[in-house]
Amino acid sequence: MRALAKVKAVIFDYIGTLVNCKSYSMDDSRLKLYNALAAEGFNVGKDQFLDAYIRAHEKYRVVRYEQLREVTNAVWVAEALNELGYKVRADDAHVKAALNVFFKDYVDSLTLREGAKKLINKAVQHSRVGLVSNFTHAPVVYSSVRQFGIGECFNAIVVSEANGWRKPSKHIFNDALSRLQVLASEAVYIGDSPVEDIKGAGDAGLRTVFVSSQFNSLADLLESKIKPDFISNSLEEICEKFDDSTA
Q: Rounded to two decimals, what is the model's pTM?
A: 0.94
Q: Residues of the chain with pLDDT > 90: what percent?
A: 92
Mean pLDDT for 2-26 is 89
Residue spans of alpha helices (H) in the chain: 26-39, 46-62, 73-83, 93-109, 116-126, 138-147, 160-163, 170-180, 200-203, 218-224, 235-246
Residue-wise pLDDT for 214-224, tens only, equals: 999 999 999 99
Angle between helices 73-83 and 93-109 (to 10 degrees): 130
Instruction: State the alpha helices, DSSP H only, in 115-234.
Output: 116-126, 138-147, 160-163, 170-180, 200-203, 218-224
Query: What pLDDT band is residue 244 in, cutting at 50, 70 and 90?
Result: low
CA 178 remoteness from chain centre: 19
Instruction: Read off the pLDDT of residues 135-173 as tens digits, 9 standing for 90 and up.
Output: 999 999 999 999 999 999 999 999 999 999 999 999 999
